[in-house]
Structure 1
């Protein structure tokens, strides 16, 4: 390692810490709102969203990849959601080898009820705090970060 560390300057350090603190607090707030109102975690909400955007069914491996989570983490979350009647697991109809997560009617109804609360939180605590230009720039930067990191993770198939 002959290359010298390129330390962050003071402005970069403030921005980096702001990003970390802001994302942590934002995710905690969105999670708290969903839990308090619907007894639903942010991760569970995201699973409901991903399933609804995929005609109600996604292979478990695809769901894990789409969320950037490990298969075991998604499996545990799906198991809790299955007990609550929000999703079902079924043998894949495509090849009979994989397992599909399937959105139930109860899960769909909960998503329809929870979505306005979640979207309001995203608007109130992020979107409406930034100018249109700043929010677009944030999206470009985070998409570039995601693209870069996904390229290093061949196990991820982000949809």
Structure 2
């Protein structure tokens, strides 16, 4: 038998659970599997993209595996992490490396979409602003989407 408090707590947990994809990543020792998602991609984006909001990041950039031409650009950038790669003179979209804390920093880069896309939110809906019990979650959701951030904020109730 569950109490109303248990059901409320369970609902909060469902709404805050984060979803990950399990992806293969090439390493020096072979392939390994890592858990990734858009939050990790955004959180560990290039330092050159620090001022970018989450909604703009998703609209204008996507992750892709590093290929030979990307390796050449990285080598020319002295292998620095979390930096923009110089694509001047090349017919390539802007490219950026991840910070080393990203689980795919050595195998993937961030590349600008040729044409921006419209992000679609999937998962629990953004709570209603006018309801007292959901106002804080509403504010947190909007701040997450429309104010640049680097670390996941901890909110205490």
Question: TM-score range with shorter-chain normalisation?
Answer: 0.3 to 0.5
Instruction: Specify which structure has the higher proportion of helix.
Output: 1
Instruction: Specify which structure has the higher proportion of strand.
Output: 2
TM-score scaled by length of structure 2: 0.35
TM-score scaled by length of structure 1: 0.35
